[in-house]
Amino acid sequence: MKNRTSVLIIGGLIILALIGLFSSFMANPAGFIQKIALMAVIGFVIFFVVRKFSNSSPQKKEQRAFLKAAKQSKKRLQQKNGDSQMKSSSLGPISNLKKHKTKRKSNAHLTVIDGKKGKKKNRASL
């Protein structure tokens, strides 16, 4: 019963809004189009401002993590091939020391979840 009344109320509001839009368009078509265009421009501006300043989107974080992992794997492949050893040995021992001092590993924030490993499941109850 509640669901039916809410549908009727929302339907009535939509019908009244359409009647208001139609009467506004008939009274002043140029002003109506101008107001609609102004609302659309303001909506786009708000959308792009919110999109620009929202840095917490998961897609951006995943993209950054992917790029970081790609750089690390590229470095590992170069070290295996010996390309980086040839370049660093030609520069001398001082550059090797600087390279090792500036190299930092990323901190992996991992947590261990202890489960009930010792307890066996009673498969007969399934």
Task: Kindly report, residue by residue over 50-99, the tens digit of the pLDDT.
Answer: 888 776 656 677 788 888 999 999 988 888 787 545 554 555 555 555 55
Kindly report, residue by residue over 12-55, the tens digit of the pLDDT: 999 999 999 899 999 999 999 999 999 999 999 999 998 887 76
CA distance 25 to 21: 6
- The domain segmentation of the chain, as residue ranges, is 2-53, 58-93
CA distance 75 to 67: 12
Q: How many residues are present in the chain? A: 126
CA distance 30 to 36: 10
Say if pTM beats, i.e. exceeds, 0.75.
Answer: no
